[in-house]
Structure 1
Amino acid sequence: MRDMLDPDYEPECNASDNKPFAEIMAARFGRRGFLKGSLGAAVGGLFATTGVARALEAGAGPALNFEPVPVDTSDAFIVPEGYEAKVIYRWGDPVTGAMPEFSPHNTGAEQGEQAGMHHDGMHFFPIEGQDPWQGSSTDGLLVVNHEYIEPRFLHAGKVEGQAMTAWSVPDHAGPRDPDMVLKELNAHGVSVARIREDADGEWRIVPDPRNRRITALTEMEIAGPVRGSDLVKTKFSPEGERTRGTFANCAHGVTPWNTYMAAEENWSGAFVNNDAELPREHARYGVRQGMSRPNWHLAADGADGFVRFDASTKADSAEGDYRNEPNGFGWMVEIDPFDPDSTPVKRTTLGRCAHEGVVFAPVNDGEKVVCYTGDDARNEYIYKFVSAGTFRRGVTRGEILDEGVLYVAKFHDDGTGEWLALVHGQNGLDESNGFVSQADVLVNTRLAADFVGATPMDRPEWGTVDPETRAVYFTLTNNSQRTADDIDGANPRGPNPFGHIIRWHEDGGQEAQTFTWDLFVIAGPHEDSADMHGEALTDDNIFSSPDGLWMDANRRLWIQTDISESVMYRGNHTVFGNNAMLAANPETGEIKRFLTGPVGQEITGVVTTPDHRTIFVNVQHPGATTSAEDFASANYASHWPDGGNAIPRSATVMIRRTDRGVIGA
């Protein structure tokens, strides 16, 4: 079980025999064309004949008027000539309450009033609070996900001098120090912080009543068909209407009614279940027996907020223990950043999985709300939700997400696809096949998708919707365990260590149940990559493991990379250097590297101010490549952003042109 403490631990949960996407691609374009070194021949001309390409024939697309930065391996944050970058919001910066300053010796309670660890998805909400994309470009609420923790840096004041890897947990076998456990739980979740550009041009955190921390201990409402279900009843909430906390918050979503959606991705590793046989809603999601990754349930004080992470059966009924606690996680969580007294809501109609995030299609009054989400694990699926009700600006709130249809994608060899409804009583999802209600279907979203024949994908990550053409783009970050015999049209390489970006266009509007798909780019080194014209990537744009993805209102497609620290700077990943962010033109396929980050990090989270003259990005887990021996000697791989001998800290970076022009133009 020690593999749970390895950086790339991911349980194999999909035992279905659904036809993988790589096999579909092979059937469409020929298996030989997707062997290493011959990608260009396979995909040349692919886009010229597809429905997606025809939908994009609007013009030249957005300009990329900057000189691409080169691949880099230094411990620095590098942007193009004519741009400047400044750190504005770091792990441990004071946010609320007593506003405690950062220290390696901060307590668990102090961490609950500071920025969490490992920044990820985020959004800048203009301070007017009326529209998520329009309003002030100098004053707003920055809402940031804090995906996970690196215990050795989090507890640096207590574990200095010890040899610890990135996933080592102090006193893992228990009993665990309750304050350490509290600090770990409080370092997860979401932060809301007002930021403002002062007259001197500097961005600063501003004390504000709306500033708050939402952590792995914050009380949450359960909404939608799962609310009140026997599957979510616990000792804490015998009625099955509430749970505590959100964590593993990777990417995000921004609703048309100006609220924030936090995804719950790799949450299952926090739980343990020592029952002789695991229920399917645990086993299919990776809950394990024996131990969990953090072993929070072994806190010495036995506090209820800690022991709930043991999902073993301990009472006569679910209302007396926490056997159902894992079922309260794996959802999209809606947060109102402008109401500090509001309770976050888990919107169960969007399904339960390892959500990377959720992306909403543009919506007009009288239209249904449509959004997409990916299940970020090897051989998992892409989903779409269509609301039952219609949108009315200024009236619609999050409750519109509680009724509607969740679909899962099936990709076909001929470049078409269909959305399969995950609705109780349809497509065989009934009691005869083990699904007793819609709540059951949603708690077991993965199993329902298995059953209806969805297409397993290479770790679906972030998505974005073109505001002009409504084409949908998704990153498929990598899948080193896919074999050459399992490739298909939408997952064309086996193994796939470098990833690719897929896109599709709905047939007849966003609510359609069929679509046409193709590939935008196949990532990789010069000899094993292809742009949308079938040409190999160049020194200006080679990249691996696309993760973060966002198309701004000017239609620049921002691509962020997440090469794992386990392969970074090694073997066939040496050529890529540090993780980076690139910009792409969706019309021409032009791609340029816009920035590179410091050592051992992931570039993630991207948003501009409404005037497009400031862009914010996050740097997550700098220094993660530090070896256990180097940690013991304080010889960290990175000291970014504070420099000197400082411990590395995840942070939000502000980037702008020195002439204050539009980013990328």
Structure 2
Amino acid sequence: MTDDSQNILFGNGDELPSNHSANPHIQDVINQGRRKVVASGAAFGALAFLGGLPSIAGAAEPAKIGSGQPFQLRNRLPFAAVPVTRADTITVPAGFSAKTFIPWGTPICGSYPAFLEDASNSAEDQAQQTGMHHDGMHFFPMDARFKGRKSDHGLLVLNHEYIDAPLLHPSGPTVVNGKRVDADEVRKEINAHGVSVVEVRRGPQGDWSVLPSARNRRITGATPMHIEGPARGHELMQTRYSPSGTSTRGTLNNCSNGYTPWGTYLTCEENWAGYFAADDAELPRHLERYGLRSSGRYGWETVRGDEFERFDATATAADARADYRNEPNTFGWIVEIDPFDPDSTPVKHTALGRFGHEGLVFAPTKPGWPLVCYSGDDSQNEYIYKYISRDKYRPQRSDGRLLDDGTLYVARFNPDGSGDWLALDIEDAAFQQACAAANVSFADQGEVLINTRLAADVVGATKMDRPEWGAVHPDTGEVYFTLTNNSSRQEADAANPRAPNPTGHIIRWREEGKNQVGTRFQWDLYLLAGPQSDSRDPRGRPLTDENIMASPDGLWFDEEGRLWIQTDMSGSQLRSGPFGNNQMLVSDPKSGETKRFLVGPKGAEVTGITATPDFRTLFVNIQHPGEGSTPTEYTSTWPDGPGRRPRSATVIITRDDGKRIL
């Protein structure tokens, strides 16, 4: 990213690195580890768990087919890999179909205003239509809180991460002398963010449709929210809007997601810091450590009116309750939404920490045991976190309060393949010692969590290469995380084995504690993305034409333990080289086999995935096709065709024979 990133309307909103601590980087850990091999000039960890856990290559056991029959392996990836392509379309294997569904601007609630092809819809219209740039999502069967097996009727809930302002308006945004002057344009941009809740039904012929339902709903960057957990009411959460520090407005930059065992949706605020401006001579640590700058990404703070002035975090009054110096502290959280109650108020859970949450993934729940979940901080050189609830999970009785009282940990990856979860708890003796050694103090646990990144710096967490989506194996409980890339890395370590690391990799670990509640783990590398000359598949072999990829991002396990991998390449990786457009692959941890299942259109990221319980319908999101387009020149015209502006959309994938996807 260049200095132009300081300007209004800059790019896709990835934040500038803000971790200047001396903590070790994961690449340093890998370099120090005893499991290095050197291949094509790249240091790469051996693909085997330590501590007696099986290697990938030896993990597959032959399956017995029929009584008295010889042992043979079942083909768990029964499709022909699709080739690399730069076509402006969706490519899936023979025998499968992909149909576009609910693109940006689809009317879903209120007066159901139709999408206008010239993008001249108003801000009020946008608040009743699907937002821009679809991302993480989940399908909730209509019986989700009972058996959860209904596959032809449910709620599809999806995030809208950010906007392309040049495409959101007919002629792009109106900017005069570096300032935004059209309040309705800015209001429309705020409304294009957030979350959509859409009731959908599959008809007798297999076609899906949106139902006109009272459950349909838009949560936007202006929707009122409650604040819960240790930071609720904290003096650093007090604003002109909420002098008590117990509420805020809106959720922004909603990237990946999660869903709770009690049937609610979790949306995750990722690159939120760039929405705010702060022009103080010296920024307080809760703003500086998160990379706030003197101007906001879209210039919203330059418009008059309280609804816009909240994006200016400059201290302008004698008291925080009279300005918005603390408004950024009300972002960077996990937000819980009840999709079945359109009148419910979303809740920001502060016990889960404040950072650039990519998503939230739960370990398998066990009645009578604490709840365990994981989240990555998607920025260069940031960390991976784990949360353990204080109270026990009780089916049919537990709710979001489990996310308000517990312990947040951050990961340290050791060179010998072990790992430690380091508590970010002001009552923890080791945390107190680390703070004393670093000469850093926190007034209370609320301040620890508002300054999560600083607290993680203090305890010595391992810097990672943009930790993004996580996924937990449904049978083994192994945790997988994508480390998408990090071109700014100067030195390698055990868990981040390349410096720089422009193509990324996938790391995984197994917890030592029963039911994931311990503070020790064993880790290894599952896959090293990149060209054939610098990559490794789960069997330790170079990637091939069937699975070559870069910048792994989205991760999801289906019920049979196949790992679905989505990529987020940009720039030169998309324009040239061996990778083609962004893609989605399927990998089998039992055998290590990995195949490309889908390739997206030009300029798009493939992101977000969910399925119906019968696994006959797969939903996948296609984000920002034609990224970099202007109001007059489109680099993609997907999905509507020639001459039409590109629109993010969900894609519905089915088998032509109507059977399970795999």
Place the TM-score, normalised by the shorter chain, in its bin. over 0.9
Name the aligned partner's letter for residue 557 of structure 2.
M
Shift of 1:309: 0.2
Within 1, Cα distance between the matches of 2:42 and 2:183?
Answer: 55
Tell me the distance in 2 between the aligned counterparts of 1:475 and 1:296.
32
Match of 1:582 among 579, 582, 585: 585
1:91–1:456 Cα change, 3 Å: same
Look up the equivalent residue of 1:337 and give its one-letter code. Answer: P
Deviates more, 1:47-56 or 1:470-479: 47-56
Q: Verify the 8 A CA contact 1:459 1:476 in the aligned structure 2.
A: yes
CA distance in structure 1 between the partners assigned to 2:12 and 2:104 by the alignment: 20
2:144 alignment partner in structure 1: 129
Match of 1:209 among 214, 218, 222: 214
How many residues are aligned here? 637
Q: Are 2:45 and 2:494, in contact at CA under 8 Å, matched by a contact in 1?
A: no
- Measure, in 2, the Cα distance between the counterparts of 1:635 and 1:399: 49
Deviation digits for residues 369-407 of structure 1 (CA, Å, limit 9, x no counterpart): 000000000000000000000011111000111101000
Instruction: Name the structure 2 match of 1:517.
Output: 523
> Residues 213-253 of structure 1, C-alpha deviation per residue, up to 9 Å, x if partnerless?
00000000000000010010001000010000001000000
Q: 1:462: which partner in 2?
A: 469
Instruction: After TM superposition, list the pairs within 5 Å mapping 1:364-513 onto structure 2.
Output: 364-426=366-428, 427-429=430-432, 433-483=440-490, 486-509=491-514, 510-513=516-519
SS of match in other structure, 1:250 = strand
Are 1:253 and 2:266 matched, yes or no?
Answer: no
Mapped partners of 1:616, 1:599: distance in 2: 19
Question: Does structure 1 residue 67 correspond to structure 2 residue 42?
Answer: no
Pairing 1:635–2:633 present: yes
Q: Which amino acid aligns with 2:486?
A: N
The question of whether the paired residues in 2 share the 8 Å contact of 1:475 and 1:547 is answered with yes
Q: 1:232 to 1:38 in 2, by over 3 A?
A: closer
Gaps of 5+ in 1: 160-167
TM-score, normalised via structure 1 length? 0.93
Code of the residue aligned with 1:77 in structure 2: it is: I
Q: Does 1:549 align with 2:547?
A: no
1:140 paired with 2:154, answer: yes
Residue identity in the other structure for 2:130: A
Tell me the equivalent position of 1:659: 657
> Any idea what the Cα deviations from partners look like across 1:516-538, whole Å, max 9, x if unmatched?
00011000111110112221000
Residues 588-634 of structure 1, C-alpha deviations (whole Å, 9 max, x = no match): 111000000100000000111101111000000000043xxxx36x3
One-letter amino acid matched to 2:161: E
2:110 paired with 1:110: no
1:598 aligned residue:
601
Counterpart in the other structure of 2:54? 53
Query: C-alpha root-mean-square deviation of aligned residues, in Å?
Result: 1.8
| C-alpha distance 8-293 of structure 1, shift in aligned 2 (>3 A) | closer
Look up the match of 1:84. 97
The answer to whether the 8 A contact 1:410-1:418 is kept is yes
Q: Does 1:21 align with 2:34?
A: no
Which residue is equivalent to 1:330? 332
Q: Is the 8 A contact 1:123 1:144 kept in 2?
A: yes
Query: In 1, Cα distance between the equivalents of 2:54 and 2:379?
Result: 28
Cα deviation per residue 1:416-437 (whole Å; 9 max; x = unaligned)? 0010000013234468632110
Given the superposition, is the C-alpha separation of residues 100 and 6 from structure 1 closer, same or farther in structure 2, using an over 3 Å criterion? closer
Q: Which of 215, 221, 224 is 2:229 aligned to?
A: 224
| Alpha-carbon shift at residue 303 of structure 1 (Å) | 2.0
Verify the 8 A CA contact 2:13 2:274 in the aligned structure 1. no
Which among 295, 300, 306 is matched to residue 299 of structure 2?
A: 295
Q: Distance in 2 between matches of 1:338 and 1:7?
A: 32
Seen in structure 2, the aligned counterparts of structure 1 residues 524 and 642 have a Cα distance that, compared at 3 Å, is: same
Say which SS state the counterpart of residue 369 (structure 1) adopts.
Answer: strand
- Separation of aligned partners in 1, 2:579 and 2:402: 43
Q: Which among 78, 94, 109 is matched to residue 96 of structure 1?
A: 109
Q: Find the residue that maps to 1:213 and give its secondary structure.
A: strand
Q: Does 1:153 align with 2:167?
A: yes
Cα deviation code 1:468-512 (max 9, x no counterpart) = 0000000000001112xx111100011101000000000032001
1:321 is the counterpart of 2:331: no
Contact 1:152 1:169 in 2 (8 A): no
Aligned ranges 1:616-635 → 2 under 5 Å: 616-626=619-629, 631=630, 634-635=632-633
SS at structure 2 position matched to 1:117: coil
The answer to whether the aligner puts 1:539 opposite 2:577 as a matched pair is no
**Helix, strand or coil at the partner of 2:636:** coil
Distance change >3 Å, CA 119–CA 516, structure 1 → 2? same
Distance 1:188 1:481, change over 3 A: same
User: Tell me, what secondary structure is at the counterpart of 2:578?
Assistant: helix
Aligned to 2:102, the other structure's residue is in SS state: strand
8 Å Cα contact 2:379-2:467 kept in structure 1: yes
Verify the 8 A CA contact 2:425 2:431 in the aligned structure 1. Answer: no
Which deviations, in whole Å up to 9, do the C-alpha atoms of 1:443-491 show, x marking residues without a partner?
00000000000000000000010010000000000001112xx111100
In structure 1, what is the Cα distance between the partners aligned to 2:174 and 2:572? 22
| C-alpha distance 51-263 of structure 1, shift in aligned 2 (>3 A) | farther
Contact 2:135 2:623 (C-alpha < 8 Å) held by counterparts: yes
Per-residue deviation, residues 106-161 of structure 1 (Å, max 9, x unmatched): 00110000000000000000012315x83211110000000000001101x234xx
Aligned mates of 2:523, 2:448 — CA distance in 1: 27
Query: Structure 1 residue 185 and structure 2 residue 185: aligned?
Result: no
Cα drift, residue 6 of structure 1: 4.3
CA distance in 2, matches of 1:599, 1:384: 36
**Match status 1:273 vs 2:278:** yes
Q: Tell me by how many angstroms 1:174 deviates.
A: 1.3
Distance 2:39 2:274 in 1: 35
- 1:171–1:476 CA distance, 2 compared to 1 (3 A): farther
Look up the equivalent residue of 2:299 and give its one-letter code. Answer: N
Distance 1:12 1:364 in 2: 38
Identity of aligned residues (%): 50
Q: 1:295 to 1:382 in 2, by over 3 A?
A: same
Q: Residue by residue, what CA displacement relative to the aligned partner does 1:13-35 show, whole Å, maximum 9, x if unpaired? A: 1011011110111111477x457
Q: Partner letter of residue 96 of structure 1?
A: C
